[in-house]
Amino acid sequence: MIQDTNDNASNDQQLNPATHPSNSLDWLSRLIAFDTVSRHSNLALIHDVRAYCEQLGLTVDLTFNEAKTKANLFVTVPAGENADQINNGLVLSGHTDVVPVDGQDWTSEPFTATIRGDKLYGRGACDMKGFIACALTILPQAVQLSNSGQLRRPLHLALSFDEEVGCLGAPLILADLKARGITPDYCIVGEPTNMAMVVAHKGIAVYRCRVHGKSAHSSLIGQGVNAISYASKLVGYVDTLAEELSTRDDNDALFTVPYSTLSVGTIHGGTATNIVPNLCEFTFDYRNLPHMTQDDILAPIQAKVAELNAQMQARAPETGIELMQEESVPAMTDNNSAELQSLIAALTGDDERHKVAYATEGGQFTNAGIPTIICGPGSIEQAHKADEYVELIEIKRCDGFLQKLLDSCTAK
């Protein structure tokens, strides 16, 4: 149901989520109303979707984080009795968590779906509750096809937690599937791509470097070991490696940034100008092309750390550098997805393949041996911002895409 937000703004509408929505816009309204910022629990959303699935007669499996405050959901619409082949089906994958709205200047309430013109606004509208809404809308029809024996391939829905803070939930889903002997034939991750087919993305690894020096009065610098100075030496080396990565002869022109990247993001250190600093920390991230690994940069950086440690400890044995990995998400490769790509191209009528620099759970699925592509409504350029939105036509296009996908899974 759509209602005006106020008497003076007839073009500014809020969607009122109904019980058990029957269309994607109502589902999206309902999903946005759950505040699933990563620092919060997602259980209210998960239990709501579970109840919906169980009313459709489906069996729902949940996997939890250690604290039991968050859960993944995995549900299967089984192939019908008349299925002419045995396979493990197709996964529609999405994450339920969203990024915070703190400090952002929103025009409308971020956790209330609001239509203005041809766009629907709300946190998660494109990243990525829009795709989840479309997937939930298609489930009843999939169940009907299964019950009538026409569904040739199982259809799975996988909803994860904590994608936005390191893709922490999806590995638990994949471990559970492995334990149950389920290896899906394909996976479609519905991150926002404007419904274009993304066949590969870079991986990401985030590192924290902590440099422990020795304090002294700045007039007696020989008695100290300057943590900032040694941190700067390592930062300079990271920048040198970054330049070398940009000139390799095995880079991939299909990526907007066609090479692996290294980037220093934060640095903190020192207490006063007249004190030799005893601590400096900085972070950097590495975004690797699919054919490269973390060792390509980690090994030389570790060697540089060892060299600097020797210099520091020659002056003060208690000094040194710690290098810690804080996040790691694998790249998604297109090595095994040619058949899936052909299917998607046939359904969409668009044969163009794209590769992107941002990371998703797609790399975890390909690492598990499941051919995967990314395709979903909305633009990544709208994600994580104030007034996040998805164009209504994108939801319509996703509905049409999933309908064609479901038709491809039915008996001929």
CA 144 to chain centroid, in Å, comes to 31
* DSSP helix/strand/coil, 129: helix
- Of 162, 163, 387, 399, catalytic: 163
Query: Which residues neighbour 351 within 8 Å (Cβ) at sequence distance 6 or greater?
Result: 345
| Spatial distance between the Cα atoms of 288 and 248, rounded to a whole number of angstroms | 13
| Spatial distance between the Cα atoms of 329 and 3, rounded to a whole number of angstroms | 42
Judging by DSSP bridges, how do beta strands 372-374 and 186-189 pair with one another?
parallel
Tokens at residue 215, please? Answer: 């304090």
| Spatial distance between the Cα atoms of 13 and 304, rounded to a whole number of angstroms | 57
Please state the φ and ψ torsions of residue 218, each to the nearest 5 degrees: -65, -15
Residue 174: strand pairing partners: none
Is 391 assigned a catalytic role? no
Is 252 assigned a catalytic role? no
Which DSSP state fits 368? T
- Of 26, 97, 391, 394, catalytic: 97
Confirm if 326 and 206 have CB atoms less than 8 A apart: yes
Q: Which residue numbers are catalytic?
A: 97, 163
